[in-house]
Amino acid sequence: MKDAIDSIILGIVQGLTEFLPVSSSGHLVLAQEVLGTSFGQGILFEVAVHVATLFAILIFYRQRVMQLATGVFTARRDALEYTGKLIVGTLPAVIVALLLRDLIEEQFDSLLGVGICLIVTGFLVWSTRYTNKHEGAEAPGWGAALIIGCVQAFAILPGISRSGSTVAAGLALGLHPLAAAEFSFMLGMIAMAGAGVLLLPELTSIDPALFNTIMAGSVAALLSGLAALIAFVWLLKTQRFHIFAWYAWTVGAITIYFALT
């Protein structure tokens, strides 16, 4: 029973922090430390709840996803070009995940590393105070797509917010706020789907009780993630996105303090 409750709490943490610019992976590490649980599966639980938030993106951007899918199927140029940019933006994270998986897993055991990365996230989010304008390009160019993709690869580290860093990069490269959010989440959707496919064999071979525990957390992540996604877009529209920098700095400083003491 305790594992199920812990899983739901962690799922809610994941869902809320996946889209708010405060690093879901970093918060999962901290929450697991507080709860004293990891479900004994390395990053398996984290990937499972990340995949759950993928469905939150599909629900929120369902019209855009259908538009792109239809456009690709009918060979519409704008849809093919946008999809191509998503592929370009996804490649850096794929390369990093495949080549450095063991090294990345080790970072999930480092509270000091999480704290430092949260401080970095704070500065990235704070930068949007100066770049979040009510104007900008509706889609990134090919070079911008690659740069945003490289930033996403960097955000694999726990404590670096994927959504916060990629949106900050998109805004700095001249994208309209909503366009930056859309491209960020479309990239995230591909990355989450890829991670889910890679770890699917592990999910199907684990103990049934553990599987049910992980699924409970995944449902919680889906529901809380959808709520956070709505809040994320609202923050961009109202130009209040940068306020989360103070939260990231505070949690990062506290984490570093406890890691060192």
Nearest to residue 231, comparing CAs of 17, 27, 54?
17
Enter the pTM of the model.
0.84
Domain that holds residue 105: 2-260
Number of domains making up the chain = 1
Model confidence pLDDT, tens digit, residues 21-77: 887 767 777 777 777 665 545 567 777 777 888 888 889 999 999 999 999 999 899
Q: Are 148 and 173 in contact (CB under 8 A)?
A: yes
Q: What local confidence, expressed as pLDDT, does residue 144 receive?
A: 96
Model confidence pLDDT, tens digit, residues 133-190: 878 899 999 999 999 999 999 888 888 888 899 999 999 999 999 999 999 999 988 8
Residue corresponding to tokens 């495949």: 98
Model confidence pLDDT, tens digit, residues 86-112: 999 999 988 887 787 666 666 666 788
* More confident position, 223 or 197: 223
Cα 161 to chain centroid, rounded: 6
Rg (CA), the chain: 18
